[in-house]
Amino acid sequence: MKKRTNSRGTPSSSGDALLATTSSSAGDAERDHPAYKSGAASAPATPTKRRDGSDGSGSSAGARRKRKDEIAQTFVIVNERPVDDISLDFFYKPHTITLLAVSVLAVMYFAFVRNEANVDENLWAGLLCIVFFFLIVSVIAFPNGPFTRPHPAVWRILFGCSVLYLLTLQFLMFQNYPTIRSIFYWIDPKLKNFHIDMEKEYGVNCSDISWDRVKGHLDVFAWGHFLGWAFKAILIRHMGILWAISVMWEITEITFAHLLPNFIECWWDALILDVIICNGLGIWMGLKICQILEMREYKWASIKDISTTTGKIKRAMLQFTPESWSAIRWLDPKSTAMRFAAVIQLVIFWQVTELNTFFLKHIFEMPPDHFIVIGRLIFIGLFVAPSVRQYYVYVTDTRCKRVGTQCWVYGAIMVSEAILCIKNGKELFERTQAINIVLWLTVQVIISVAFVYLAVYWQQRQLKKVSSSPAKRKETSPASSSSPSKGKLSPQKEKKLK
C-alpha cells in the first residue's frame, strides 16, 4: 500500500483521511467514491448553518470539537494540499541540509571567481542572488496551495515569485515617475526609443472591411486573446460568469477609450472578432476541455510498476497533467446573498486586473510584445489559478473560514498595481470624464447582477425539470423504491394478514 504524506514529505496521521473527502482543486476523493457522478452532480453540497451557529450535529463538546477540526482541515486542504500515493519517495522527502550546502557553495564560488569590474553586472548578480535565496526559502517554508502537480515545490516557487513581485510593487509605490522610468531603462535601454503613440491603431478607417484588413487584425495578439479566454474558461468553468466578464470588458474598453487609444476599435472588430470569435471560441474550447477532463477516469499507476521505457516516459509526461478533475458550482438554486455578492465581486475584480495590464503598459510606455509585459501576463495567469480555486472554496464552502494565502497575496498585488497606476498617471487621469466612470461602475454592477441572477434562475429551471420529470418521480416514489417483488407480499401486508 502506498504511503500518503503531506506536501512536505512528512507521513500524515490517520486523521488525514478526512482531507480526502474535502472538495479540492483535483477532486480526487469524490471520484474514488463508488457513487461518483461527473458534472454538476459531483459538486459537494454546501454545508448550511443553523441560527444558533451550530452545524446540526448537536451542541455537545464533541460535536464542537469535530466542527473545529473539520474547519481547520478544510483550510489545510486548500492552502497546503497534501500529496497522495507517493511512489518515488526521493522527490518528496525533505533535503534541507543538502539544499543549504549546495546553495552556500554555489554562492561562494560565484562570489569569488566572477569579475567585479562592471557595476551594472555587480548589481544584477546581487539581485539574482537575493531572488535565488528567497525562492529557496519559499520551497522550504511557503505553502503549495491547492495544487500538487507536477510537484508542490513548483507552486511554492510560484508563490515566492508572487511575494517578490508584491514587494517590488511596494518599493515602486514610494518612487517618483522619473525614478521608475530610470529603473526600466536600466533593465532595458531600448525602452528609451519607444513612445506609446507608436502603438498599432485599430480604430481607423472602419468603413474598409476587406479581407486583407480583417486578416491584418488577426495578429499574434488576437491569438493571445483567444488562448487567454480559453485559459479563463478552464479556471472559472461557468459559462454565465465568463460571458458576463466578456461583455463587460467590451463596455470597459468603450468607457476608457478616451484614456487608452488602443481601446478604440471598429465596431466589427469589437463585436465580431473580439466578442464572437476570440472570446466565444475561447470560452467554448476551454469549457470543452473541462468537460473532457471531467469525463476522464483518473487511475494513476506507479512509475515503478510500468515495465516498458515508453510507458515510463508517458507516465513522467502525465505528471504535468491534473491528478483529477472536479465539477465547479459557483451558484445553485439555494445560493445565499453573500455568495451572490461574492460572484459579482469576482467579475469586477477580473475587470480591474485586466485594466491594470493596459494602464501599466500605457503609463510606463512599453510595447505590447516587451518581455516585461509578456512575463507579467504569464506570471499573473499562473498565479491566478490557485487564487481562483482558493476564492471558490472560501465562497462556496462554509467550513472554510478564511481565504487562502495565494488569494490574499493576489488581492494585494491587484490593489498595489491599481495604486501604482493612479499615482504615476495623474496627468492621464486628469482627463478622465467623471460621468463615464460613474456610468461604467453602474453598468458593471447592473450587468454583473443580471448575469448572476440569470445563472441562478437557469439552475432553478433545470432543477425543476429534473424533479418534475416522470422518470425522476418514478425513481424517487415510495412505491417504486420499496415495492415488493412480483408474487410476494410485503412484510407490512404479511403482518396485517396474520
The DSSP code sequence of 59-88 is SSHHHHHHHHHHHHHHHHHHHBPPEEEES-
Q: For the ranges 131-135, 324-328, 493-497, which has the lowest average pLDDT?
A: 493-497
* Rounded percentage of the chain residues whose pLDDT exceeds 90: 23
Contact between 415 and 165 under an 8 Å Cβ cutoff? The reply is no
Task: Report pLDDT digits (tens) over 207-249.
Answer: 777 777 777 777 777 888 889 899 999 999 888 889 888 888 8
For the chain, domain boundaries: 89-189
Q: Give the global pTM.
A: 0.74
Q: What was the pLDDT predicted at 196?
A: 77
DSSP reduced 3-state for 470:
helix
Contact between 333 and 43 under an 8 Å Cβ cutoff? The reply is no
Buried b / exposed e across 255-285, counting CB within 10 Å, b at 16+?
A: bbeebbebbbbbeebbeebbbeebbbebbeb
Task: Report pLDDT digits (tens) over 420-469.
Answer: 999 998 888 877 777 777 888 888 888 878 877 787 777 777 777 777 76
- Judge if the upstream peptide bond of residue 478 is cis by omega within 30 degrees of 0: no
pLDDT at 7 over 80: no
Mean pLDDT calculated for residue range 87-91: 73
Which amino acid, one-letter code, is at 265?
E
Alpha helices, DSSP H only, in 152-219? 152-173, 177-187, 211-217
Task: Report pLDDT digits (tens) over 113-166.
Answer: 888 888 888 999 999 999 999 999 999 989 888 888 888 889 999 999 999 999
CA distance 72 to 68: 6
Task: Report pLDDT digits (tens) over 265-314.
Answer: 888 878 888 888 888 999 999 999 988 888 777 777 777 777 788 887 88
CA distance 27 to 147: 11
Strand-pairing partners, residue 145, are 80
Grid cell locating 76: 489545510
Which amino acid, one-letter code, is at 209?
I
- How many CB atoms lie under 10 A from the CB of residue 95? 14
Query: For the CA atoms of the chain, what is the radius of gyration?
Result: 27
